[in-house]
Every structure is written in C-alpha cells, then in structure tokens.
Amino acid sequence: MNLFTVLAVLVAVICCNSPCFGRDIIKGRNEHLLFSQVGSNLRYRRRVVAFTAWLSKTTTLGTNHAVVYNKLLLNKGNAYNVHTGRFTAPVRGLYLLSASIMASPRKQVALSMVRNGINFDALYGDSRNVNKYSSQSRSYTVMLQRGDLVWMRTFPGYEGQVLVGFSHALYNSFSGVLLNQF
C-alpha cells in the first residue's frame, strides 16, 4: 500500500460517520474499494445488495414448493430473482435475511428458509383455533459464499396450505441485505 492509500483509509475510518462521507466505510480483506476525488472530499463506495419482495397473489403450496415473491419493494444489486423466488449471494459476506408469513383465519401455514437446497429454519403461522390472521417473522444473520442460493419453500407436511397474497401489503415477504463483504 502506498502512503496515499494508507492516508485515505485513515481519513475514511475517522470520518465515516460525518456528513461529508454519507456512507459507512468497511474495509475487508478482499473488498474492492472504489474511490474518486470529488472536490476536496474523498468518497468511498462498497457494493450494495438489498432486496424486499412480497407475495401479491394467493398461492397454494405443493411439495417442496418454492415461494415466488412476485412484487419488489427494493432489489439493489439485482440479486433476487422475481421469476424463481431465489436470492443469489453476489459476493462472500455476512447477510441479514428476513421472512414473514401470515396464515388466514382458521388456517395454518409453514415455510422453510433454504440455503443451497438444505432447510435451515422454519416459520409457522397457525390460526386454526381463532378467527383471526396469525403471523410470524424471523431474521437470520448468516455467512454466505458467492453463488449461494437462498429461498423459501413449503415445510414438509404442509402441502396444500395457502399463502394469501396482498397487492398492497407485505404480510408474506422475504428480504435480505449484505451487512459486510469479506
């Protein structure tokens, strides 16, 4: 590293929360920092990956049915595929993934969050004994490798259950954001 690079990183770390930078600065081992001189301020940018998708149409779940959240609120980095329902990690890093489900009155529903074909947790909504909607949300901090696939699918034994879609609300949703690239 040359003296300019060392100085730029030190200034960035000291000033990362100041208004002149406007962004957090994280320097990982293999992260590619892009920088350019704009006036007297040195600006750093890192890759932004963030998505929020929701289900706008009612879906009956089949065996190992991948849920395709068909509406996007956000898809920075284009890592979520609205046609397959899968998120592909574009870089190795620490991600925060979240999902929410809602069961209709007098119904139940369960989904698994899946990474590379393996279930790693489940969400469950049960309204069988009440005449109200029931929901559950979960968030997970996970380390993903570049190319890892994450999606939601039917939890075994809940085939035939229904996920209710809403065109105006994110009751059944899937989100993710890159926290730190390594």
Q: What is the pLDDT of residues 84-96, one digit of tens each?
A: 999 999 999 999 9
Beta pairing, strands 50-54 & 71-76? antiparallel
User: Which tokens belong to 167?
Assistant: 């065109």
Mean pLDDT (the chain) is: 80
Q: Decide: 180 and 89 in contact? Cβ < 8 Å.
A: no
Which residue, 161, 166, 85, is CA-closest to 123? 161
Using CA atoms, how far apart are residues 135 and 26, in angstroms rounded to an integer? 35
Low-confidence ranges of the chain (pLDDT < 50): 1-44
User: Which tokens belong to 145?
Assistant: 């490798």
Which pLDDT belongs to residue 25? 34
Q: Which domains does the chain have, with CATH numbers?
A: 3-45 (no CATH), 50-181 (2.60.120.40)
Which pLDDT belongs to residue 41? 34
Beta pairing, strands 118-126 & 173-181? unpaired
Which pLDDT belongs to residue 45? 56
Using CA atoms, how far apart are residues 36 and 25, in angstroms rounded to an integer? 14
pTM across the whole model: 0.74
